[in-house]
Structure 1
Amino acid sequence: MDAGFIDLDILLTRIRQPQSKIYFLDAVKAYKAGALRASLTSAWVALVYDLIAKYRELSALGDAAAAAFLHDWDAATAADDVRKLLQLEATILDDATTNTQAVNRIAHKHLERLREDRHLCAHPAFSAEAELFEPSPELVRLHLVNAVDLVLSQEPLQGKAIFDLFDVDVLSTGFPTAHVRILDYVEQRYLARVRAHNIRNFGMVLGKSLLKGVPPQWEPQHRKIVSSLVAVRERAAPTWPDISLAIIGLINNLEPEHRPRAIAFIGAFPDFWPLLQEPTRTALQETVDHTDPATLAEYRLLAGVSLPQFREPLLHVIAGLDRDHLGNAIAAQPLRDLWPRAVEEFQDSGSFRGSEANFRDLIAPFAGRLGSQQLDELLAAVIENGQNWDAADTPGSLLGLLRNAIPADRPTHDARNRFYDHLRRMGRLDKYADVIATLQADGWTPPPQQDEHA
């Protein structure tokens, strides 16, 4: 912005903090009155106050570096320790650039010049010719514009603190689990108030976690990490090209033991496939083609089934999984392509206890992920095997699954009718009373009993 032409009164309207605006108004008044040294001194005061106010906002968001600086500042204020306050004031620009990253390095250079010129104005400093420092109107105006443009008009943006905050947050029970909610949550909590270069670094850290399993504590949060990286791609789009280049380089140089992770990553982000080097694509395809279902250990590799190049061989792997491997694969990630095997295994349960274990291990992990067709298949699997419909835990397990289904994904009325008719014939309506009530919640009514002699 051209400091020579901007209206200083308009500049005032861009300041976020009301108290900062009051302090900066003193600088504008002094400038208009020709008191240029006083103007620079007031501008510096407004700047320091505004940074402290930003630190308080960042501290409330969990920024440890901001909290540490404020602790020292507030302690010195309470103790009336002027020497300590002057020391903190002298270093606040460096702290804001290096620790909290509330100020970027280019802005630091401009603002450091303001601090130096303010120092000359506020103290009786003389040159060798014994002339009092007298800033020019143009210099003062430039400093006023820079103070507003670079700090006073800006939102308090998080810097390196994003990584520490996310590390704790993603492991907590308060972090959302539904994909759409994660997108909104990550955007609002992390992307909206973080500097662009930190968002790029954040995206690269997420990508590295998916591809290399670091940090290890994020491993059980695989789905959350994938959704968080999708949030970066969709909600911070300007940073995505740089992130993509870094991730492509990482995949192209990935160690062989991490190739199953790369296959899962490509399954979640298929746009990366054509961007990889040809030898990398060859290595990943060969890894998929030679996966043995009997020795499969890295189950997340199955997520690559969504990519056309991987689909046929991975469907073959899924078809060859035994019951234990199937349960492990579903526990790792309940993919839709695992559902046919899961419901088939459940339908063929050979005992009451086996049925309950199959529901727990193979069916329940799909809660909230099943559409109408899959729920129709589940109701059919229940009634087609007495070991299922008469198992003690089946009504409660089925009830929990149905309650997790959104209205649009409820079973079809035909499937409900068949389910109800079977229970009525077997005399089990009382046992499934809560399930029937849940199925009626969207307006379905049980079919009337047909007269067998009609």
Structure 2
Amino acid sequence: MTDSLADIDALALKCRAERSRDYIAESIQCYRAGAYRSSIVHTWIAVVFDLVDKIRELALANDPIAVRINTKYETYITQINQGNDQGVKNALEFERTILSICRSQLDFFNHQQITDLERLREDRHQCAHPSFQRAGVPHRPSAELARLHLRNAVEHVLSQPPIQGRPAIAEIITTIASEYFPKDRYQAATALRQTPLANPSEALVRGLVDELVFKYAEADSPLYGKIQVGAALSSLLDTHRNIAETRIAQKLSTLVRRIDDNGLPAVARLIAAIPEAVALIDEAARLRLSEFVRVGPDLDVLPAMAGLGRHPLITEIVRARILRFGTGLLVTAIQEHELAELAKERVFVIISESSNWHETNDVFDRLVSPLFSHLTRDDIERVIRMPTETTADLIGSNRFEQFIDQVSRTGIIPEAELDTLLGNNRMEYLVRERQRERERQRVVPQA
């Protein structure tokens, strides 16, 4: 029993507000005394009072649904104070239906939560109404049942903020629409933990997905074209995948299929910002995206190519598109759109076709240097072999020699192996120059 009482005390500390802890205090006192019928009755009273407080709080925040509900409730209280019996009947009906009102109109509860709370209400009736029992046989709930109802009341109601449904979505949308909302999915998840998404209902997650997806494409929306929407949707996949994944798949598929050609580039950027999205959308949407990547205007397609190119179904289309790029567009792709990995093959082709030192120097300046950190040993060896395997005019190019110096400094290829590779590809002069330089570095100046 000691452990059980300690558990109950810990539950009470979870109550969001001091008033909520006051509401549940009588129930806990009854539980401690072994008065389990009274404990259940007071638990129900605590739930009703707390829900009424939440409705009032939302009404003060100008939530239209809460305002309507609270106005009715205040009318009933006024009638009671005036001695009007109709007010008593209305208030009793309000209490009887308060769970369904909060579920259907305010999205406070999911299916399991409403089931638990309806059981509390039914057990309260069993405890509070002798007419529900056979004569002389009062209902005798167990300690476990009373403790279960206490736990459910605190977990489902008293510990929760009064923000769900449309007001919650509006609050989250405002947060995401800020220019300072993170663009990284993991940082976005951290930011969203300070919103109603910290403990959302299923309806809230589904409604938020709908708003994020469709408001992203609406010109008068604060979310219009904002790439942080992708970070927010990605974080929902991390934190609430069982609810969000199917919804995101459905809504993104619908958006891709229905958006007009002018709006498709922005939607493609959204899909590209969510790594899982290409695999989630349906086949018709994926085919439209693929065709956009294949034939869309260069400047429209470029911003989405890196993200879309991560998926095997679209990677080859991206590679084929890049193989048609000229040097200028390729520079933009590498330096501004993170397409280095996918662009390497096209860069190698351009190097292999350089016919003079001017072209070679230009290629190494504008393409190879920005690409260097992405080059593997095999890539570097391929470049060095080009004078013997292609028509590339690399021998004597000062930018190519600087490239070899950079390879040497990074140690990607050991010095001896690098000399051998250069010598085997008509660049013995470079080997001699490198050897002389090493000799100079070994000479210690005399005092």
State TM-score, norm by structure 1: 0.54
Whether the 8 Å contact between 1:36 and 1:140 is mirrored in structure 2 is yes
Whether the 8 Å contact between 1:125 and 1:133 is mirrored in structure 2 is no
1:29 counterpart = 2:29: yes
C-alpha spacing 1:158/1:229, structure 2 compared with 1 (3 Å) = farther
Match of 2:238 in 1: 237
Match of 1:223 in 2: 225
Whether the 8 Å contact between 1:305 and 1:311 is mirrored in structure 2 is no
Q: Aligned pair count?
A: 306
Q: Structure 2 regions of 5+ residues with no counterpart?
A: 82-86, 310-314, 330-334, 338-447
1:14 counterpart = 2:18: no
1:109 counterpart = 2:115: yes
Say which one has the larger Rg.
Answer: 2
Which amino acid letter does the alignment assign opposite residue 122 of structure 1?
Answer: A
Bigger drift between 156-165 and 113-122 goes to 156-165
1:194 counterpart = 2:167: no
Work out the percentage of aligned pairs sharing the same amino acid: 25
CA distance, structure 1, for counterparts of residue 203 and residue 252 of structure 2: 21
* Alpha-carbon RMSD: 4.2
C-alpha spacing 1:73/1:246, structure 2 compared with 1 (3 Å) = closer
Match of 1:350 in 2: none
C-alpha spacing 1:132/1:19, structure 2 compared with 1 (3 Å) = farther
Which amino acid letter does the alignment assign opposite residue 228 of structure 1?
Answer: V
Aligned with 1:223: secondary structure?
coil
C-alpha spacing 1:279/1:150, structure 2 compared with 1 (3 Å) = closer
C-alpha spacing 1:61/1:227, structure 2 compared with 1 (3 Å) = farther
What is the correspondence of 1:140-155 to structure 2 with a 5 Å cutoff? 140-155=146-161
Which residue among 275, 289, 295 is the counterpart of 1:290?
295
Match of 1:121 in 2: 127
Match of 1:392 in 2: none
What is the correspondence of 1:203-352 to structure 2 with a 5 Å cutoff? 203-210=209-216, 213=217, 217-218=220-221, 221-224=223-226, 226-234=227-235, 237-240=238-241, 242-248=243-249, 254-255=256-257, 258=260, 260-261=264-265, 262-273=267-278, 283-291=288-296, 303-307=303-307, 310=318, 313=321
Match of 2:72 in 1: 72
Aligned with 1:178: secondary structure?
coil
Q: Structure 1 regions of 5+ residues with no counterpart?
A: 294-298, 321-334, 338-454
Which amino acid letter does the alignment assign opposite residue 101 of structure 2?
Answer: D
Whether the 8 Å contact between 2:249 and 2:281 is mirrored in structure 1 is yes
C-alpha spacing 1:126/1:231, structure 2 compared with 1 (3 Å) = closer
Partner deviation per Cα, 1:276-308 (whole Å, 9 max, x = no partner)? 678765543333332357xxxxx8655325445
C-alpha spacing 1:271/1:117, structure 2 compared with 1 (3 Å) = closer
CA distance, structure 1, for counterparts of residue 63 and residue 153 of structure 2: 23
CA distance, structure 1, for counterparts of residue 38 and residue 89 of structure 2: 22
CA distance, structure 1, for counterparts of residue 199 and residue 147 of structure 2: 29
C-alpha spacing 1:59/1:5, structure 2 compared with 1 (3 Å) = farther
C-alpha spacing 1:106/1:53, structure 2 compared with 1 (3 Å) = same
C-alpha spacing 1:301/1:26, structure 2 compared with 1 (3 Å) = same
C-alpha spacing 1:241/1:77, structure 2 compared with 1 (3 Å) = closer
Whether the 8 Å contact between 2:230 and 2:271 is mirrored in structure 1 is no
CA distance, structure 2, for counterparts of residue 221 and residue 153 of structure 1: 31
Q: CA deviation at 1:65?
A: 2.9
Aligned with 1:118: secondary structure?
helix
What is the correspondence of 1:49-64 to structure 2 with a 5 Å cutoff? 49-59=49-59, 63-64=63-64
Bigger drift between 53-62 and 83-92 goes to 53-62
State TM-score, norm by structure 2: 0.55
Aligned with 1:188: secondary structure?
coil
